[in-house]
Amino acid sequence: MSNTSFITQLQRPHLAAITPYQSARRSMSGGSVWLNANEAPQTPAFPEQQSWNRYPSFQSTALNQAYADYAGVALEQVLSCRGSDEAIELLIRSFCEPREDAVMITTPTYGMYAISAATHGADVVDCPLQKADDGSLQLDVETMVARVRDTSTSRVKLIFVCSPSNPLGNEVDAARIEQLLQQVGEDALVVLDQAYIEFVAEDSAQRQVADLLAKYPQLVVLRTLSKAFGLAALRCGFALAQPELIDILRKVIAPYPLPEPTIAGATTALSASAIAQMNAQLEQTLAQRERLLAELQERSWANSIWPSVTNFVLVNVPDAAALVTQCQQAGVLIRNQSSQRGLGQCIRISIGNAAEMDRLLEVLPA
């Protein structure tokens, strides 16, 4: 593709004429006396916090540059937001007209794609994952592309692909993702949700996000600091895309999307030393995952165990609800995934630290 003008054509038509709200922090910088934002002169309850009385940056250059460096992309390709959940909302609000356009999902998958679409009034088109030759569930690219080009129903504007998959735990085949990107072309945006990307192998093709974005301007990549970085409480995520697409999202995002403590904590977490600490914890998590997988292989009630490249394991059991209740009564919380398409009687277990996994194994049936 020689240009990205199709991105502007895909956005909701009325957004083209909208001028984003120019907040005090967004429209002006510099100065030593700030009297342009109706802020208090200090924070009475926390006088030691000298910046909490000020609105945060609309988009923190320091934070976005830190993540751009980490992901290997340009600063202009990064939008920071309140977790990747907000990025999902922003994309639907920017590109889907209520009762006219649709998003595509591939069940079983992360539930917020469909919920966010429904709350906005966009249709949801489900092209379920199909069993591949190796037994894994993978994209049905032919059906997906055919549905995108079907003009008889709502137009698909966004295709959500979760890889590594939540709730399955496997990595969606990179060749199929690239095939989807090639065949969809300029007809829709492909949103690749990589919340668990740090857990996959270093040589995984999906880690080369800069190359993918350069090659496919219709691609949007979602990332988060909630998983491997251990910052779920801070609510910090990122959308990575072509600058033209980022500019569209900047029109609809809130004037101050991230609070200052989140910006400060997230920026620190992206320092070289903190990334090294994250990688060290990641290795411990992967070791505990392998330990759990080995233990589950010895439990007769574990009917089947799904392959995992993430920090969780999906298991088919005789009675998911009963097992979840048994663990809950012992103080250990695991999740019932049986409501997901094709995952009847499946539980999902997150990987904790060694002590937490010790307790889990004590609670699980022998």
Domain ranges of the chain: 5-23+58-270, 273-363
For residue 105, pLDDT over 50 is answered with yes
Question: 138 CB contacts (<8 Å, ≥6 apart)?
Answer: 129, 130, 131, 132, 172, 173, 176
Q: Vertex 48, ends 47 and 53: CA angle to 5°?
A: 60
Q: Does residue 71 carry a pLDDT above 90?
A: yes
How far are the Cα atoms of 52, 66, 128, 134 from residue 131, in angstroms, in the given order?
52, 39, 10, 8
Taking CA 90 as the corner, what is the angle to CA 148 and CA 56, rounded to the nearest 5 degrees? 160
**pTM to 2 decimals?**
0.95
Q: How far apart are CA 216 and CA 219, in angstroms?
A: 6
- Of all helices (H) and strands (E), which one includes residue 328? helix 320-329
pLDDT of residue 2: 44
What tens digit of pLDDT does each residue of 202-225 get?
Answer: 888 889 999 999 999 999 999 999
pLDDT tens column, 223-252: 999 999 999 999 999 999 999 999 999 999
| Residue 225 parent element (H or E) | none
Structure tokens at 138: 């993978």
CATH of 5-23+58-270, one of 3.40.50.720, 1.20.140.10, 3.40.47.10, 3.40.640.10: 3.40.640.10
Residue 253 predicted with pLDDT over 80: yes
Question: Quick one: 44 exposed, middle or buried, by C-beta within 10 A (0-12, 13-18, 19+)?
Answer: exposed
- Give 4's pLDDT tier (boundaries 50, 70, 90): low
In this chain, the answer to whether the domains covering 5-23+58-270 and 273-363 adopt an identical fold is no
Q: Are the beta carbons of 316 and 304 closer than 8 angstroms?
A: yes
**Number of residues that make up the chain:** 366
Q: 78-81 and 237-240: which strand pairing?
A: antiparallel
CATH annotation of 273-363: 3.90.1150.10
Q: Which residues contact 319 (CB under 8 A, 6 or more apart)?
A: 345
In this structure, what token pair is assigned to residue 204? 């995984």
